[in-house]
Chain A
């Protein structure tokens, strides 16, 4: 019986024994040299194997990414924040610029889960902050370009500095929420969404600054700063403060006061950051 672990054919009992040039059936022999020159390249078993290996490697890689992507980026949770439509975006942008007439800021719930942003204008979404961030980077590039200070790596610099400030803000607010021991349902992604809304005002300010100079910039930025302040206070009040206080009845108590100060602090940092990230772009 042939030894199953043999690496080669045992031909010691073969009739026409030769030494050396034993032709292995097919695979690693010398087929390339002896077949037709115009026989398809892919008939060469060596490259056949290479292609099969390569494509299986690619398929495996894709499977690996698909299985593990959920561990790093919560895709299904993110999908909720992108379930928006044009009407919602329009209304939300209107709210961001003019939040004074809106009465009901409560997010509607449907059996314990918040309703998708499509159906409720109060729900946070990530489409507007993401688009606003990218637009801010491009508009900053445009502003620098009109002042002849543009170079492509400056775009990267603007983008990363804005991203760094956003991360810092999120971490600072999460830390203070932890220290104040607030039980909220404010998730990190919600917080990123709320903090991303200020980029809309920043874009407005820069564009006005480009069109009408410093006066236009200050007017529009001032307006947007006040609107964002009011917007943040009214939105975060419902999330951070206790139920009773959220209905408008001022509840005395050290805990609630602390929470009120926290909300005011968060809302106050928004205009500051809006000014800090844009003033160097408008001359």
Chain B
């Protein structure tokens, strides 16, 4: 049992050179330059974010099905926070409602799209698309800071923005999941979800 023991070659009570000494190199030395850029490591690709934002903002532009291949939750997070911030500017501290409704809405859309489409869809993709299409809603809530939305103009504006959001969301979903003849069917639940957000902004 003890014959083939390897002799101990370490050094007790003597510090081993496990690292290059700090003093012989600048503080942010080689290891910093060898690392990939921070944004690439985090997976945030500004070009793609810009592409997706443009797709949302031009409701009549045909969407490319492949842009949803990487699920990117950084953009939607920013948009949600911006929405909450504009609500805050109007005096409504309702971050909890925004998060709660977006979570339930994303879950509902995820179940519905999985049941309705031939190919499945991942939760991250659904959350990402719904988050991007929240952008026009931020416009609405920033209007609400200045004018009150409870008149006739407010109702028309709200209806228009809800339509814009749900149209873009359904357009992206249709092209990403190759569902034909179902655009209005996908747009309706999106309209319900964005309608609840609009309710928060208006009332």
Given contacts A38-B28, A38-B32, contact A10 B5 (CB under 8 A): yes
Say what secondary structure dominates the interface of chain A.
loop
A82 touches B184 (CB 8 A): no
> Number of B interface residues, CB 8 Å?
39
List, in ascending order, chain A residues with CB within 8 A of B108's CB: 134
A36 touches B22 (CB 8 A): yes
A14 at the interface (CB under 8 A from B): yes
Q: Which residue of B8, B28, B180 has the most chain A CB atoms within 10 A of its CB atom? A: B8
Of the candidates A2, A15, A39, the one whose C-beta lies within 8 Å of that of B7 is A15
B115 touches A10 (CB 8 A): no
A36 touches B31 (CB 8 A): yes
- Assembly CA distance A271 to B184 (angstroms): 29
- Assembly CA distance A145 to B195 (angstroms): 14
A187 at the interface (CB under 8 A from B): no
Residues in B88-135 with C-beta less than 8 Å from chain A = 97, 108, 112, 114-116
- Assembly CA distance A130 to B115 (angstroms): 12
A18 at the interface (CB under 8 A from B): yes
Please give me the residue from chain A that is nearest to B179 by CB atom. Answer: A85
B115 touches A16 (CB 8 A): no
Interface string of A1-42 (1 = CB under 8 A from B): 111000000111111111001010000000100111011100
Please give me the residue from chain A that is nearest to B2 by CB atom. Answer: A13
Q: Smallest distance from the beta carbon of A116 to chain B beta carbons, Å?
A: 12
A251 at the interface (CB under 8 A from B): no
B2 touches A11 (CB 8 A): no
Q: Smallest distance from the beta carbon of A54 to chain B beta carbons, Å?
A: 17
Size category of the A interface is 35 or more
Q: Smallest distance from the beta carbon of A61 to chain B beta carbons, Å?
A: 13
List, in ascending order, chain A residues with CB within 8 A of B39's CB: none
B115 touches A75 (CB 8 A): yes
Interface string of A61-87 (1 = CB under 8 A from B): 000000000000001001101111111
B185 at the interface (CB under 8 A from A): yes
B12 touches A21 (CB 8 A): yes
- Assembly CA distance A128 to B5 (angstroms): 75
List, in ascending order, chain B residues with CB within 8 A of A87's CB: 181
B23 at the interface (CB under 8 A from A): no
Given contacts A78-B115, A82-B115, A135-B192, contact A34 B8 (CB under 8 A): no
A127 at the interface (CB under 8 A from B): yes
B4 touches A86 (CB 8 A): no
Interchain Cβ contacts under 8 Å between A and B, 10 examples: A1-B4, A10-B1, A10-B5, A16-B10, A21-B13, A23-B10, A35-B18, A85-B182, A86-B183, A152-B97
